[in-house]
Chains A and B, each alone.
Chain A
Amino acid sequence: MAGMKQLVEDIAKALVDIPDQVSVREVQGEQVTVLELKVAPSDLGKVIGKQGRTARSIRTILGAAGMKLNRRFTLEILE
């Protein structure tokens, strides 16, 4: 599902200060697709958010997309 990789990338790029350093790797499992998000260290807070709320919001959107696309997506933010 290249669409979801692009989705996470788009959202992250809109949130961070250094969009050039945003990258997303997609790891296909049998049941789950893991999306590994990497951003500049100084931008980590921007994609995680206060008390993790921003990361949680991205996961909620992935959850909704998963329902539509019949696939589970999880987001991992790499530090």
Chain B
Amino acid sequence: MSVRRKYSVTQLRPRIERFLRPILQRCRLRLRYEITEGPIQDREWENPDVLVKFSGPDVELLLENKAELLLALEHLTIQMLRLPSEDHERICFDANDYRLLRIEELRLSAGAAAERVRRSGRPYQFAPMTSRERRIIHLALRDEPGVRSESQGVGAARRVVVYPIPSEQKSRPQPTLGSPSPGTTAQSAP
């Protein structure tokens, strides 16, 4: 996949700073942040154009409860910038490499779930995740034989479910259940 960038740091930095700085000040959060170009990585999942990296005494607070606060700040910033949903992944907030480690963790659990479904022949449900995390699971499962995945549930409860593919159908593409969500073209909606 190409690493064409759509958003530049120069273009977004002043807007992100103007939004974030007063929030951090009013919340008395002792955090510093650096806005840089995302690293160019040879992976098709999570290739952000702009990376906002936090450090400082309150970093742990950002990462508590599955990085709830970090993801809340990221979500509001993305909404403030009015990025269309297909561009949300071009902005990434991180602290202590949480996102990078989380991707590894998700990939590993996707592999483990696939193994389990193949062995048991029964579906496996992941815990609810954000759309970006679900997408990583779907991508990781794409190359796993004998299983397929889809997202189920609404809102904060939406989760990935992994199903076994009956062996005689393995070579054929699976019809997806339900209607695909708007704006997604992949065989499994993130």
- A51–B155 touching, CB < 8 Å: yes
Specify which chain A residues have a CB less than 8 angstroms from the CB of B26 in the assembled complex: 3-4, 6-7, 10, 65
A72 CB-CB contact with B under 8 Å: no
A18 adjacent to chain B (CB < 8 Å) = no
For the complex, give the distance between the alpha carbons of A61 and B72 in Å. 7
Q: Can you list, as one digit per residue, whether each of A41-64 has a CB less than 8 Å from chain B (1) or not (0)? A: 000001001011110111011011
**Interface majority SS on A: helix, strand, loop or mixed?**
helix
User: Is B73's CB within 8 Å of the partner chain A?
Assistant: yes
Most buried by A among B19, B23, B76, B156: B76
- C-alpha gap A49/B75 in the complex (Å): 10
Cross-chain contact B61 with A7 (CB below 8 angstroms): no
- Nearest B-chain residue to A53, judged by Cβ: B75
* Shortest beta-carbon distance from B87 to chain A in Å: 15
Cβ-defined contact, A10 with B156, below 8 A: no
Q: Quick one: closest B residue to A13, CB to CB?
A: B80
Size of A's binding interface in residues, CB under 8 A: 25
Interface string of B4-21 (1 = CB under 8 A from A): 000000000000000100
Contact A7 B80 (CB under 8 A): no
A51 touches B154 (CB 8 A): yes
Contacts of A69 in B (CB 8 A): 28
Bound CA–CA A11/B72 (angstroms): 12
Contacts of B69 in A (CB 8 A): 60-61, 63-64
Q: Which of B27, B76, B154 is within 8 Å of A64, CB to CB?
A: B27
Give the residues in chain A near B71, CB-CB below 8 Å: 57
Among B28, B68, B75, the residue within 8 A (CB) of A54 is B75
Query: Per a CB cutoff under 8 Å, which of B29, B61, B76, B154 touches A11?
Result: B76
Q: Assuming A7-B22, A51-B154, A53-B156, is B76 touching A58 (CB within 8 A)?
A: yes
- B27 pairs with A61, CB closer than 8 A: yes
By a CB distance below 8 angstroms, the chain B residues around A15 are: 76, 79-80
Chain B positions 37 through 63: 1 when the CB is less than 8 Å from some CB of chain A, otherwise 0: 000000000000000000000000100
Q: List 22 A-B contacts (CB under 8 A).
A: A6-B26, A7-B22, A10-B23, A10-B26, A14-B19, A14-B80, A15-B80, A49-B75, A51-B154, A51-B156, A56-B156, A57-B72, A57-B75, A58-B72, A60-B69, A60-B72, A61-B69, A61-B73, A64-B61, A65-B27, A68-B27, A69-B28
